[in-house]
Structure 1
């Protein structure tokens, strides 16, 4: 995991507060933010684990009304996030805190939250057991009745997308060396019983089919597909359909114990 942390620190040093520090695809990021706004309750205090350079927090402040806390284990990402926060107006600066923190360690010093979310955080852990341990660590600071929202990538979605690419003569999209996509079935089966799956939102399915299959196929050989191609922009404006992308959102509720 040290190498993965080093990768993200390097991304922060290279891109600072820019979007490219955490993703090369601005339309996919727009879709992530839109999905989060649909599923995050505006009222409670909220914790983002794996906040990177603060991009998500910045874009969610018009939706979230409570206190917002972000942690990330990459120190250079937090340095960039602090710069992001420093440029907010005074009222927002007062309610946003970012600090170094590790999902694989005791997070009790942060206090308890009724709403916690991640964006492509668990996929940076090396095994299913690490991912499930991370959820158990989140559970320890999630209030009974609280909401856990996970925006993560799954192997099953990647496999379906690559099957579609193969059907039109495109090569499979490889996994990044630093990612271990969720095995959706095993991951959900391994959650503590009191963490109940409420919904899966395949918010990026149509966009990924259009951008990674249609646009990729239409791109001349030897050229990299343009994330901001017009057909991608159109796909990003349409309602999603199907379940053919790795990226999706899981809503999980912590049951109140007797």
Structure 2
């Protein structure tokens, strides 16, 4: 599968679900809430934000309510179409069609308070291209600003699958269009003048919803957004806010640009 195949896939998804855009991407709503809660801790009024890979605008819409301005782009023209519909009337959001790591530098010639991605780098094919994309993102962060990466974790998925296998549950597989990130590869890619501020994962949520839930419901059709998922969301908020664990499908890293 090539990068263009990936673009075609997301264009197709956007058109297939144009009447229900929230089904285009990740459908676990309580997982999404955890991700938005995490972002909120690192955003503040007055910030100028660059969102890389905005998709259908789910994250964009949420954070646009609390910041000064958002520039956002996606490689899928159809996704940007959904995003424009969702964000119609919001004067502080600018949308573009672009792909990483190939970017027109003239469009993004300012430094941002925050540059962020949510499940975006994992859609880029090739370790070197992923590295270049993260380095480009870092180059757009102003001194004192933040780089926020919320991406699929290769180690986390492997750890969850090791437990599932021991318990007789089928292993989870990453979607064909995703290449999850290794934490060490991310840390090596980020420039040295960035320091790690936050290293987080939703391990409580994944323990409950990806291990205990399927264990208790073997042979049944599993669903998202059940009462158990809501409970797991609450537990994750109160238990794992100050810690991390290998049992997390998400790698949530926040870096600060310490350059003067």
Matched, 1:25 2:28: yes
Using the TM superposition, give the Cα deviation of residue 22 of structure 1 relative to its aligned residue in structure 2, in angstroms. Answer: 1.3
Aligned position for 1:209:
207
Once the 2 structures are TM-superposed, how far is the Cα of residue 72 of structure 1 from its aligned partner? 0.4
Give the conservation status (yes or no) of the 8 Å contact 1:145–1:256: yes
Bigger drift between 239-248 and 179-188 goes to 239-248
- 2:11 maps to which residue? 9
Residues 120 and 151 in structure 2, CA contact (< 8 A), matched pair in contact too: yes
- Evaluate the alpha carbon distance shift between residue 81 and residue 31 of structure 1 in structure 2; reply closer, same or farther with a 3 A threshold: same
- Contact between 2:100 and 2:124, CA under 8 Å: does it hold in 1? no
**Aligned match of 1:218:** 216
Aligned to 1:158: 157
Identify which of 76, 81, 84 aligns with 1:82.
Answer: 84
CA positional deviation for 1:27: 1.1
Aligned equivalents of 2:117, 2:104: Cα separation in 1: 14
Kindly tell me the number of residue pairs found equivalent between the two proteins: 249
Corresponding position of 1:228: 225
Which residue matches 1:140?
139
Residues 156 and 31 from structure 1, CA distance in 2 versus in 1: closer, same or farther, beyond 3 angstroms? same
Cα contact 1:49–1:117 (8 A) shared by 2 = yes
1:240 & 1:50 partners in 2: Cα distance?
30
Deviation track 1:118-171 (CA, whole Å, cap 9, x = no partner) reads 000001112221111001211332222221111111111111111121221111
Describe the SS at the equivalent of 2:26. Answer: coil
Give the deviation of 1:220 after TM superposition. 4.2
TM-score by length of 1: 0.91
2:61 matches 1:58 = yes
Whole-Å separation in 1 of the counterparts to 2:199 and 2:45: 20
Gaps of 5+ in 2: none
Contact preservation (8 Å) 1:19, 1:26: no
Q: 2:116 maps to what in 1?
A: 117
Give the drift of 1:107.
Answer: 4.4
Normalising by structure 2, report the TM-score: 0.90
- Aligned equivalents of 1:142, 1:125: Cα separation in 2: 21
Q: Is the 8 A contact 1:147 1:252 kept in 2?
A: yes
In 2, distance between residues paired with 1:25 and 1:58?
Answer: 17
Distance 2:58 2:151 in 1: 16
**3-state secondary structure, aligned to 1:35:** helix
Q: Is residue 2:85 matched to residue 1:68?
A: no
SS in 1 for 2:143: strand
The separation in 2 between residues aligned to 1:42 and 1:178, in whole angstroms, is 35
Q: Using the alignment, how far apart are the partners of 2:239 and 2:130 within structure 1?
A: 27
CA distance in 2, matches of 1:55, 1:120: 12
Q: Is the 8 A contact 2:51 2:72 kept in 1?
A: yes
Distance 1:18 1:219 in 2: 29
